[in-house]
Amino acid sequence: LQEPLSFAVDFFNFYYVADNKNPNYEFLDEVNEQDFVRTAAYNPQCGFLVKGADFLHETKEQQLLLQHSRCDEAYKAILDNMDWVGTTEWLNNETFPLLRSLVGSNTNADHLLEKNIKTRIMENKRISASDLSSEALQYVNNLTAFDQELYIRAKRDFPFEQMVLVEDATS
């Protein structure tokens, strides 16, 4: 899971700013805060867990039908079905090394790292959280309240230290 505001900014930059030729997203030659707010999704991580990838192509009205109880169901499914849930801020330093260790692979996944993805986006065109007004930040925070709850729960319930102990036990 990713911190929701960071997710919204990264999603916008990847799908709307980078010319990735994805027909589901409009390429914005010039970016501004209004485009960011207009394209922001309602709890996209929770929606993805509940409804799958099609959720991101729904209208705002369809997205708003997602209820908090459905996000609770999604988190219960995570707890029931997943051994580990990581957060993206520790992807390079914790999650990738942990996964490589668990599957016994020395394969490098640096091509997936944020710094390499960002090189595909023209730096002068991208938007960052520091570019956004307090009103836009509050709008996205309100729009992603369920995602924020999922993120906090995952950080609480899946601390990395817990996995280090499991990894050490298998050594």
52-105: pLDDT as tens digits: 877 777 777 777 777 777 888 888 888 888 877 777 776 666 666 666 666 666
Q: Region 139-153: what's the mean pLDDT?
A: 93
Check: pTM over 0.85? Answer yes or no. Answer: no
State how far the Cα of 79 lies from the Cα of 167, in Å rounded to an integer: 20
pLDDT of 166: 47
Which residues make Cβ contacts (< 8 Å) with residue 142, sequence separation at least 6? Answer: none
- Cα–Cα distances in Å, from 161 out to 31, 38, 104, 132, 166? 40, 39, 20, 34, 9
Q: Is 121 helix (H, G, I), strand (E, B) or coil?
A: coil
